[in-house]
């Protein structure tokens, strides 16, 4: 039996005149997500995107898995294509295609969508007839229109008749790329990959910036970040990762700044460097994984000092979440296991024993200026490394 995927647009339905642009980006993202699984035709009609395999060897199981990670879709269904667009073909296909789910169910109902108004039967007739055919094949079932175990959908569209059961919930959000570009500051921790995922979900295309301090941080730590980004990229699409050599800057911090301000000045330097790298890469916002009160550098006072370092808007999607809520998302996107691998991050190099939780911006800036990071930040910017993540 021939099958297709029917994907339902989400929030793009609300975008009015921009809808075409949104839909084009969404289709492009679906195409990228299906790469390597065979040839598919992807076309849209009536807030549905139809994905049709063009050959026998297309991997539809994996295709379902992948479209489930594309932002911009509220739901998706794997559906049977009826041989002909006739009521007879519908009545024959429905019980056969849904045999497995219907056998397990006790109750069901049928819903018909008839967007092809030329079809000679109206929706209530299609429902009644299909329900009858299903009851004929599965006499153990009863109809329950309010709370059925299974809803059978019959869709009569311009280009064919389709049968499917309850749709699967999609990834939601807005298609990646329709909201502009942002640079996420990515560590190997639990939080920043989750932050990256959350902002990609709001339509942002991601560039990733990672600060590495070899030999204090190991190549394994950076390789861990690559693996984390590969997981995020399943949702966000390809990511350009930029590694910033941070060793000499951190050594200078240790040598020339007051110990209790190490972390806060380091955070400011990260923001300043990231802002420049972001701008050079066409990004107009920064993303971090900060969560209010989680550590000394994430108090209101510390965040005021960090925020002042960059003019670009900074998205902190985790700011109001507690650790367990963040961990729940990291499980969902499959980054948790990698995040908890024990490699040093540059943030844990030279950490002060008693970091200031209420730093005063004036003194922080004075200490930073007195140390004079300029030549070293320029040197770091001249030695960036790029890795493409897909």
Look at residues 25, 273, 280 and name the one whose alpha carbon lies nearest to residue 11.
Answer: 25
Minimum gap (Å) between residue 344 Cβ and Mg ion: 10
The answer to whether 193 touches 228, Cβ cutoff 8 Å, is yes
User: How many residues touch Mg ion (CB under 5 A)?
Assistant: 4
What CA–CA distances, in Å, run from 255 to 249, 250, 270, 361, 380?
10, 9, 18, 21, 18
Which stretch of DSSP H or E encloses residue 73? strand 73-81
Tell me if residue 345 falls in helix, strand or coil.
coil
For ligand ATP, the binding residue among 70, 102, 186, 389 (CB under 6 A) is 186
- Taking CB atoms, the residue at the shortest distance from ligand ATP is 189
Minimum gap (Å) between residue 213 Cβ and ligand ATP: 8
The answer to whether 208 touches 242, Cβ cutoff 8 Å, is yes
Report whether the peptide linkage leading into residue 39 is cis, meaning its omega lies within 30 degrees of zero: no
From 41-49, 108-116, 118-126, 291-299, span contacting ligand ATP (CB under 6 A):
291-299
From 42-50, 66-74, 343-351, 374-382, span contacting ligand ATP (CB under 6 A):
343-351
Look at residues 272, 313, 310, 68 and name the one whose alpha carbon lies nearest to residue 181.
Answer: 313
| Binding of Mg ion by 193 (CB under 5 A) | no
Minimum gap (Å) between residue 191 Cβ and ligand ATP: 3
For Mg ion, the binding residue among 93, 178, 187, 291 (CB under 5 A) is 187
Minimum gap (Å) between residue 362 Cβ and Mg ion: 27
| Binding of Mg ion by 189 (CB under 5 A) | yes
Q: Which two tokens stand for residue 319?
A: 């700011």
| Binding of ligand ATP by 294 (CB under 6 A) | yes
From 28-36, 131-139, 175-183, 339-347, span contacting Mg ion (CB under 5 A):
339-347
What CA–CA distances, in Å, run from 22 to 12, 15, 17, 231?
6, 8, 10, 24
Minimum gap (Å) between residue 110 Cβ and ligand ATP: 48
Residues that bind Mg ion (CB under 5 A): 187, 189, 345, 347
């Amino acid at each position: 039996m021939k099958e297709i995927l029917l994907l339902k647009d989400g929030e793009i339905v609300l975008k009015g005149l921009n809808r075409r642009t949104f839909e084009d980006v969404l289709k492009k993202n679906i195409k990228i997500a299906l790469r390597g699984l065979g040839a598919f035709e992807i076309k849209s009609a009536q807030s549905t995107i139809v994905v049709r395999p063009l050959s026998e060897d297309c991997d539809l199981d994996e295709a379902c898995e992948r479209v489930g990670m594309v932002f911009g879709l509220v739901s998706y269904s794997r559906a049977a294509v009826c041989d002909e667009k006739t009521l007879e073909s519908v009545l024959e296909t429905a019980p056969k295609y849904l045999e497995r789910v219907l056998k397990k169910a006790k109750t069901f109902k049928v819903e018909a969508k008839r967007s092809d108004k030329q079809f000679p039967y109206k929706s209530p007739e299609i429902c009644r007839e299909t329900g009858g055919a299903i009851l004929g094949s599965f006499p153990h079932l009863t109809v329950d229109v309010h709370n059925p175990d299974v809803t059978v959908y019959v869709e009569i569209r311009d280009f064919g008749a389709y049968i499917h059961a309850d749709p699967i919930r999609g990834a939601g959000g807005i298609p990646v790329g329709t909201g502009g570009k942002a640079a996420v500051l990515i560590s190997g921790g639990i939080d920043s990959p989750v932050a990256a995922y959350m902002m990609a979900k709001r339509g942002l295309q991601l560039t990733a910036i990672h600060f590495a301090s070899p030999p204090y941080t190991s190549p394994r730590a950076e390789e861990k970040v690559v693996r984390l980004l590969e997981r995020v990229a399943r949702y966000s699409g390809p990511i350009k990762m930029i590694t910033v050599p941070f060793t000499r800057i951190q050594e200078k911090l240790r040598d020339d700044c007051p110990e209790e301000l190490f972390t806060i000045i380091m955070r400011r330097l990260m923001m300043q460097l990231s802002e420049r790298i972001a701008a050079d890469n066409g990004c107009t916002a920064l993303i971090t994984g900060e969560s209010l009160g989680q550590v000394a550098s994430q108090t209101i006072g510390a965040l005021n000092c960090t925020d002042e370092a960059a003019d670009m808007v900074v998205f902190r999607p985790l700011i109001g979440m507690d650790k367990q809520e963040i961990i729940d998302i990291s499980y969902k996107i499959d980054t948790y296991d990698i995040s908890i691998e024990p490699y040093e991050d540059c943030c844990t190099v030279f950490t002060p024993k008693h970091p200031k939780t209420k730093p005063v911006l004036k003194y922080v800036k004075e200490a930073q200026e007195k140390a004079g990071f300029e030549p070293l930040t320029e040197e770091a910017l001249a030695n960036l490394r790029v890795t493409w993540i897909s």
